[in-house]
Structure 1
């Protein structure tokens, strides 16, 4: 329950390159300029169509990919390099399928946030229309097993019952 501008500034101050789109009823030019100067990627005023919103979200995501933003995540005992497709847990290499890589990237990029099952199905399986929910459960189980193999590490992929999954032991990793 805070200001979107403050949240955007905080994200940018941390170096977080997550695309930020402002959706608002405020169509004042000053507000739009302030939001964009705070680090926002787009400013959309109400009313807007769902098609326009989808197109602008897709464009913001493409711009992020075009910048070559494939960070290397070093989280606790893990090192994930998505550009080189090299994944390690406590110094040992982990072989991940393409689906596991997409799921892992989504979870670590949103660490500390709970991602609903529907969002994961849509983003990991490109729409998820023809994928059974059990597929997500099985993929999470396999990914957990690979990450935790031979270690006494806590579960980094946490289940939020009735909602979805999140990355992080207590949201701190």
Structure 2
């Protein structure tokens, strides 16, 4: 089943770059440079998610957001250079589900798009894939290279948090708290050892990581 993503952005290079960075076989993109084009695309196609700029040649993206929200519960993510607090408040007040300011990291954008789509399609049963690793947290089925992958409950919780916040640095405290029920009595060595085992299981080289990067003095970031 195709997932139709509408990008409403008058910067053609940025719009194309976002589409290329998000590309998956099941995704189809509709790139619109104006409100008029976006209205037409939304009327003609079953749009699954909207990435929306605020400043457009023929009006404000806030206007379009209010129109779409009145007619649909489609996820709407603002993608804009307007970074003042009142701009963000206006975006949420208009019915936006998320507000991302430019410049942004493509890995973080990808994670937020995937999270929005998951929430829109039932939320809980999350399916992730990276490299040759497949993780189905809904069915608790995990594999690497087509073979079952054994993950302990704490390893599952670590991976789930890192994947949900893909592209962001997750602090050591947050990881300990997620993996070990609050983490108050878990020291840093326990987390370091768990991350080492996790890297070995998913086939990530700590000296040249593809997926899990250590952010020294802060925590870890999943960026695959």
Normalising by structure 1, what TM-score? 0.59
**Residues 24-82 of structure 1, C-alpha deviations (whole Å, 9 max, x = no match):** x87xxxx5794361126xxxxxxxxxxxxxxxxxxxxxxx7xx5422211222221100
Question: Deviation at 1:13?
Answer: 3.5
Structure ranking higher in strand proportion = 2
Match of 1:138 in 2: 193
Is 1:79 matched with 2:134? yes
Matched-pair contact (CA < 8 Å) for 1:144–1:155: no
Kindly name which structure, 1 or 2, has the bigger radius of gyration based on alpha carbons.
2
Counterparts of 1:19-168 in structure 2 under 5 Å?
Answer: 34-35=92-93, 37-39=95-97, 67-148=122-203, 154-168=209-223
In 2, Cα distance between the equivalents of 1:108 and 1:34?
A: 25
Question: Deviation at 1:155?
Answer: 4.0
State the SS of the aligned residue for 1:136: helix
Structure 2 residue runs without a partner (length 5+): 1-17, 19-48, 52-73, 77-84, 99-118
Normalising by structure 2, what TM-score? 0.47
Match of 2:67 in 1: none
Q: CA RMSD in A?
A: 3.7
In 1, Cα distance between the equivalents of 2:209 and 2:154?
A: 23
- Tell me: higher relative CO, structure 1 or 2? Use CA pairs within 8 A at least 6 residues apart: 1
Structure 1 residue runs without a partner (length 5+): 1-9, 18-24, 41-63
Classify 1:163/1:154 alpha carbon distance in 2 versus 1 (closer, same or farther; 3 Å): closer
